[in-house]
Amino acid sequence: MLMPNMTTVKLDGQHDGRQLRNALGRFPTGVTVITTRAPDGKLEGLTANSFSALSLDPPLVLWSVKRNASSLPGFLASGHFAINVLGVAQSDLSQRFATPSENKFSGLVFEDGLGGSPVLEGVLASFECQTESTLDGGDHVLFVGRVHKLSYHDGEPLMFNAGRYCRAQPLPMSAEMQAASAMWADLG
């Protein structure tokens, strides 16, 4: 049975767009900065929480960018990108790359990854990718990337939930849950 205080909305074209955002915001995500180097050498980057694992074999990931993003032409032209997964202390980096600016990279330390895509110093994980395909995603363009190189270290991820930055708190685990989670670890 539905919860008595559940909000239910039919998407009939007349609906309030905030309701879709509200419901999507109930799904917490990590936060990434996705970067590339355009063929003319210009560095592009944006904050994205649309990043997701897609396939283990072959190793594929996906993310989407809104059609009016200023970085979209650079991502389309370059054919490479780097996913930088942010740690809990990096909300300032998230804000920087979510704010339009001529040079979002000013003062930042980074290495050149695949195709020259910037891999930012201090991130929790990075995936250097070649663009495998792009797909129409309504008001977004979906990028599928093949991972050629990855790096990671232990640490706490930055999370985004209901429009706010937050942190992940592990639940206390029963013996049964510990056994199950060991099995999930094998599954990746």
Binding site for ligand FMN (CB under 6 A): 31, 46-50, 64-66, 69-71, 94, 97-100, 160
Nearer to ligand FMN, 66 or 148 (CB): 66
Nearer to ligand FMN, 104 or 146 (CB): 104
Q: Omega into 100 within 30° of 0, i.e. cis?
A: no
| Residue 121 burial (CB count, 10 A) | 10
Nearest approach in angstroms of CB 32 to ligand FMN is: 8
Q: Which residues pair with 133 in a beta bridge?
A: 144
Token pair, residue 186, equals 């094998």
Q: Which is nearer to ligand FMN, 100 or 170 (CB)?
A: 100
CB of 47 to ligand FMN, least distance (A): 4
Largest Cα–Cα distance in the chain? 57
CA 38 to chain centre: 20
Q: How far is the CB of 55 from ligand FMN (least distance, A)?
A: 19
178-187: Cβ within 8 A, 24+ apart = none
Q: Would you say 81 or 97 has its CB closer to ligand FMN?
A: 97
Q: Which is nearer to ligand FMN, 74 or 115 (CB)?
A: 74
Q: 34 is written with which tokens?
A: 């996705």
What is the smallest separation between the CB atom of 109 and ligand FMN, expressed in angstroms?
Answer: 20
Token pair recorded at residue 23: 């419901």
- Distance in Å, CB of 97 to ligand FMN, minimum: 6
